[in-house]
Amino acid sequence: MNRKEFVKTSGLAAAAFAFAPSTKFFVRDGEPKVKMAIMGVGGRGQSHLDLLLRRDDVDLVAICDVEAHALEDSKKIIAKSGKKMPQIFTGDNYAWKRMLEIKGGLDGVVIATPWEWHKPMVMGSLEAGLKYVATEVILGLSLQDHWDVVKAAEKYNANVMMLENVCYRRDVMAVLNMVRQGLFGELIHLQGGYQHDLRGVKFNNGYAGKEHGVEFGEKAYSEAHWRTEHSVHRNGDLYPTHGIGPIANYININRGNRFLSLCSFSSKSRGLHNYITKWGGENHPNAKVNFKLGDVVTTSINCANGETILLQHDTDLPRPYSLGFRVQGTEGLWMDVSKTIYIQEKSANEDQWDDEKKWLDKYDHPLWARWSKETAGAGHGGMDFFVIHAFVESIKHKTPTPLDVYDAATWSVISPLSEQSIELGNQTVEFPDFTGGQWMFRKPVFALNDEY
């Protein structure tokens, strides 16, 4: 199958299945279970571990991690579930390669490791013959990383799905339902981002931890062990997909629309240094670290169909959590920070906000209406259920994943592009078209049914 056929087929097949008759879920009617493995069972991986263990259509055959405490915690979760203990691979940074050679093979793999491992693990999985690979945010670090994964997925006719759970947030999906029913009219401008105080994530004092630790790197635990280094050496929107994923679905990116260009600006960096000096003192060794990442990174994107997008990355200053969504069209808008909606001639009062609740309740997406009970206890308010559910069901039905490799690459590549723009003095940079022009012919598929 050549590249053009792969791009077109991946969209058309998914679109066809979106309107298929209802089928039984979590049941294989005597057929073999989906054989799954997880690369990385730290905090994020354990969330996926729990969800896979809940399913009676999944056989978790292997897990892999280099951290002993992560494996021990995972074994406790597995034992509590009553499921058979999977094979465990550990010992070095490449134990995951041995896992891919497991006897009996695998149907799919979930990757939940530090960012720098996502691309090599995706590539390794594809080269080992897997047709279904799911990875946590992000896809790669460089522009070339993203092209490499796309080309590999095409070469092996495989599915690479990013586990971007915010696409499944309940309010986000209700607004998607409203967008598709024309409530906002023609969309004009959209905003989103990652606005989340991560200072307590980027610093800690080892596995036991303590509030307001200021260590990162080798002396630290969990994400502070690796994530903070990116703030030292990189300056750009390092985590764009939570904001851009839902936005891309609203305006059919890669399916009738595409991003054309990008321009980023970065503020000065003060937040991480101030946090260290406040809790560790002026003389702490980390107080001398020069953090390259600006406290607020702002990115503008323009689209083939004329929409404008504003993204913000804000993780190093004190602030309540918000993704800052704004969906604005010719008939009205939604803003998640204020939890308000205004629809021209339909809102209760002219030029006055409605509480979003009455609208979101009315337009609750069919996926949430169908699966809300199953989301109970799933991470991130139930969103994590949907990404794992969609991935497993795609494997069972041998259909393309609803979020595909072109989505993963397009959303994730904002990081290196924003770094490039800032490095070039805030120049506008061209946005790559990973579909090779097929965005003009591919049809929307995400969340067009009430199954997955």
Q: 255 pLDDT exceeds 90? A: yes
Q: 15 pLDDT exceeds 70? A: no
Q: What's the confidence (pLDDT) of residue 397?
A: 93
**Integer Cα distance of 42 and 150 in angstroms:** 27
Q: 185 pLDDT exceeds 50? A: yes
Q: 210 and 80 share a domain?
A: no
Q: What's the confidence (pLDDT) of residue 21?
A: 36
The reply to whether 451 falls in a domain is no
Q: 282 and 323 share a domain?
A: yes
Q: 222 and 110 share a domain?
A: no
Structural domain ending residue among the three candidates 165, 185, 200: 165
The reply to whether 452 falls in a domain is no
Q: 304 and 204 share a domain?
A: yes
Structural domain ending residue among the three candidates 104, 133, 165: 165
At 78-95, the pLDDT tens digits run: 999 999 999 999 999 999
What residues make up the domain containing 413? 167-368+405-440
- Asked if 391 contacts 110 with a C-beta cutoff of 8 angstroms, the reply is yes
Q: What's the confidence (pLDDT) of residue 211?
A: 74
Q: 84 and 197 share a domain?
A: no
Q: 219 and 252 share a domain?
A: yes
Can you tell me whether residue 61 is helix, strand or coil?
Answer: strand
Q: What's the confidence (pLDDT) of residue 16?
A: 39
Q: 426 pLDDT exceeds 80? A: yes
The reply to whether 388 falls in a domain is no
* More reliable by pLDDT, 16 or 376: 376
- CATH number of 94's domain: 3.40.50.720
* More reliable by pLDDT, 433 or 451: 433
Q: Domain tally for the chain?
A: 2
The reply to whether 184 falls in a domain is yes
* More reliable by pLDDT, 220 or 265: 265
Q: 262 and 359 share a domain?
A: yes
Q: What's the confidence (pLDDT) of residue 42?
A: 94
Q: What's the confidence (pLDDT) of residue 153?
A: 98
Q: What's the confidence (pLDDT) of residue 29?
A: 65
In the structure, what pLDDT confidence band is assigned to residue 74 with cuts at 50, 70 and 90? very high
At 101-114, the pLDDT tens digits run: 998 899 999 999 99
- Asked if 284 contacts 219 with a C-beta cutoff of 8 angstroms, the reply is no
Q: In what order do the strands lie in the sheet with 340-343?
A: 354-355, 340-343, 332-335, 326-329, 187-195, 308-314, 296-303, 259-266, 429-430
Q: 398 pLDDT exceeds 90? A: yes
Q: 286 and 152 share a domain?
A: no
Q: What's the confidence (pLDDT) of residue 3?
A: 56
In terms of phi and psi (left: phi > 0; alpha: psi -120 to 50; beta: otherwise), the region of 382 is left
The reply to whether 13 falls in a domain is no
- Residue 21 exposed, middle or buried by CB count within 10 Å (0-12, 13-18, 19+): exposed
In the structure, what pLDDT confidence band is assigned to residue 18 with cuts at 50, 70 and 90? very low
At 326-343, the pLDDT tens digits run: 999 999 999 999 999 999
Quick one: DSSP state of residue 268?
A: -
The reply to whether 415 falls in a domain is yes
In the structure, what pLDDT confidence band is assigned to residue 10 with cuts at 50, 70 and 90? low
List the alpha helices (DSSP H) in 193-305.
Answer: 199-202, 227-233, 241-250, 271-280
Mean pLDDT to the nearest integer, 64-85: 97
Q: What's the confidence (pLDDT) of residue 14?
A: 47
pTM of the model: 0.94
Quick one: DSSP state of residue 270?
A: -
The reply to whether 60 falls in a domain is yes
Q: 188 pLDDT exceeds 90? A: yes
Q: What's the confidence (pLDDT) of residue 221?
A: 87
Q: 132 and 274 share a domain?
A: no
With a CB cutoff of 8 Å and minimum separation 6, the contacts of 130 are 100, 106, 107, 108, 109, 158
Average pLDDT of the residues of the chain: 93
Q: 250 and 127 share a domain?
A: no
Q: 183 and 154 share a domain?
A: no
Q: 232 and 200 share a domain?
A: yes
- CATH number of 413's domain: 3.30.360.10
Can you tell me whether residue 33 is helix, strand or coil?
Answer: coil
Q: What's the confidence (pLDDT) of residue 169?
A: 97
Mean pLDDT to the nearest integer, 16-41: 68
Q: What's the confidence (pLDDT) of residue 245?
A: 98
Structural domain ending residue among the three candidates 147, 165, 183: 165
Q: 358 pLDDT exceeds 50? A: yes
Q: 20 pLDDT exceeds 50? A: no
At 286-338, the pLDDT tens digits run: 999 999 999 999 999 999 999 999 999 999 999 999 999 999 999 999 999 99
The reply to whether 446 falls in a domain is no
